[in-house]
Amino acid sequence: ASPLFQPFTLGDLVLPNRIVMAPLTRNRATPGTVAANALTAAYYKQRAAAGLIISEGTQVSPQGQGYLNTPGLYSPEQIAGWKTVTDTLHAAGGRIFAQIWHVGRVSHSSLLNGGVPVAPSAIPAKTKTYVADGFADVTPPRALETAEIPGVVAEYAQAAANALKAGFDGVEIHGANGYLIDQFLKDGANQRTDGYGGSPENRVRFGLEVVDAILKVFPKTRLGIRLSPVSPANDTVTSDPAQVFGLFVSELSKRGIAFIHVIEGATGGPRDNVAFDWAAIRKAFSGAYIANNGYTRDLAIDAVSAGRADLVAFGRPFIANPDLVERLRTGAPLNELDRATLYGGGEKGYTDYPTLDAA
Ligand SMILES: C=C(C(=O)O)c1ccccc1
């Protein structure tokens, strides 16, 4: 069988195959920000055959929330809610890492008690977010004071400690798609004049402080980070992707974390929007490389067989195919994705996609 279906040891965790369920925001943490409804546990349980599941983005604090009904990992209720999910998934033989998330400037005052989002600089993103009455332009942010930054770093570390309590098998730091860490990395969003802005060395500082703070409370063998060097997601770009991500990845490699999860191209879009040397990034990192973005069965089999990736993450295919692993193994056709039920709502488009044997 293709290496895609062979086991892989990630850090100290043996995965039964190299197929990862990518983090997917579904806006179904109701009420509010607690991932406790039975639907969420059922949704993840249906996908337990994945080599590894990475949870939907889970905010590290109230300030870190940018969308309606996304779960948090900063309160006892939220930890207890996620525990019902991880217990259910473990009972079904699955493995799940928590993706911990701070949206930075991609938020809306209606989610922040009338407040404004925080960001590296007071530069509004030309992007929308999902709030109570549908999609809305994000609220222009304020720049974080230098003195506030250690507090935000500590929110990530606390969320990682909470992830352990909530029964997660590991943590993925959300460092991609134009959210807070990515905003610091990219000079289109970060025009600070203190030690956190300007040179690539300064722009990687925030992300590295987050990793170092987490490593004080969390094992490096179970820690990874998602990156999107050339994605324009949420209107966040940089003039120097090769420089800043080459530096960031080599610094991450020195810390010995388990994986980088790389969005190759524009998130959910073209893989060749900007020329980028993915092989150089893979070579610069000592741990595992999870490739993501628009992979088909053939592309995934080829990437793993050719050694360009250790694992491949699938997002939208996992939404529509709870038994994606089986379908990829046998080359079976895939269910169509229903875009109308991606965000918000209930079981429709969440837990009601059929498996092969149900067809
Ligand atoms: C967390 C997200 C990301 O990383 O792009 C997200 C958020 C809202 C809708 C889709 C995706």
Tell me if 51 sits within 8 A of 3, measured CB to CB. Answer: no
Average pLDDT estimate for 311-317:
98
Tell me if 254 sits within 8 A of 233, measured CB to CB. Answer: no
pLDDT digits (tens, 9 = 90+) for 55-67: 999 999 999 999 9
Cα of 25 vs centre of ligand 1, distance in Å, is 5
Confidence grade of residue 36 (pLDDT, cut at 50, 70, 90):
confident
Q: What integer pLDDT is reported at residue 31 of this predicted model?
A: 75
Rounded CA-CA distance 274/296 in Å is 20
Average pLDDT estimate for 206-229:
98
Tell me if 308 sits within 8 A of 301, measured CB to CB. Answer: no
Ligand 1, atom 8, lies closest to the CA of 25
pLDDT digits (tens, 9 = 90+) for 83-105: 999 999 999 999 999 999 999 99
b/e code 51-73 from CB counts within 10 Å (16+ = b): bbbbbbbbbbbebbbbbbbbbbb
State ipTM: 0.99
Whether 292 lines ligand 1, by a CB cut-off of 6 Å, is no
Rounded CA-CA distance 324/307 in Å is 22
Q: What integer pLDDT is reported at residue 118 of this predicted model?
A: 99
The amino acid at residue 239 is S
Give me 105's structure tokens.
């400037």
Q: Which residues does 147 contact at the CB level (< 8 Å), separation at least 6?
A: none
Rounded CA-CA distance 94/13 in Å is 12
Q: What integer pLDDT is reported at residue 209 of this predicted model?
A: 99
Whether 67 lines ligand 1, by a CB cut-off of 6 Å, is yes
Q: Does the pTM of the predicted model rise above 0.95? A: yes
Give me 303's structure tokens.
């990437």
pLDDT digits (tens, 9 = 90+) for 129-188: 999 989 999 999 999 999 999 999 999 999 999 999 999 999 999 999 999 999 999 999
Average pLDDT estimate for 6-26:
97
Summary mean pLDDT of the chain = 97
Q: What percent of the chain has pLDDT over 70?
A: 100
Ligand 1, atom 11, lies closest to the CA of 25
pLDDT digits (tens, 9 = 90+) for 127-137: 999 999 899 99
Q: What integer pLDDT is reported at residue 359 of this predicted model?
A: 58
Rounded CA-CA distance 50/30 in Å is 25
| Catalytic (active-site) positions | 179
Confidence grade of residue 30 (pLDDT, cut at 50, 70, 90):
confident
Whether 200 lines ligand 1, by a CB cut-off of 6 Å, is no
| Residue 7, burial from CB neighbour count under 10 angstroms (0-12, 13-18, 19+) | exposed
Q: What integer pLDDT is reported at residue 358 of this predicted model?
A: 79
Among 162, 201, 185, which residue's Cα sits nearest to residue 77?
162
Distances (CA, A) of 324 to 11, 133, 140, 352: 24, 33, 40, 14
| Residue from 67, 263, 342 to probe ligand 1 pocket by mutation (most atoms less than 8 Å from CB) | 67
Q: Compute how many other C-beta atoms are within 10 angstroms of the C-beta atom of residue 297.
A: 19
Whether 314 lines ligand 1, by a CB cut-off of 6 Å, is no
b/e code 116-149 from CB counts within 10 Å (16+ = b): ebbbbbebebebebbbeeeeeebbebebbeeeeb
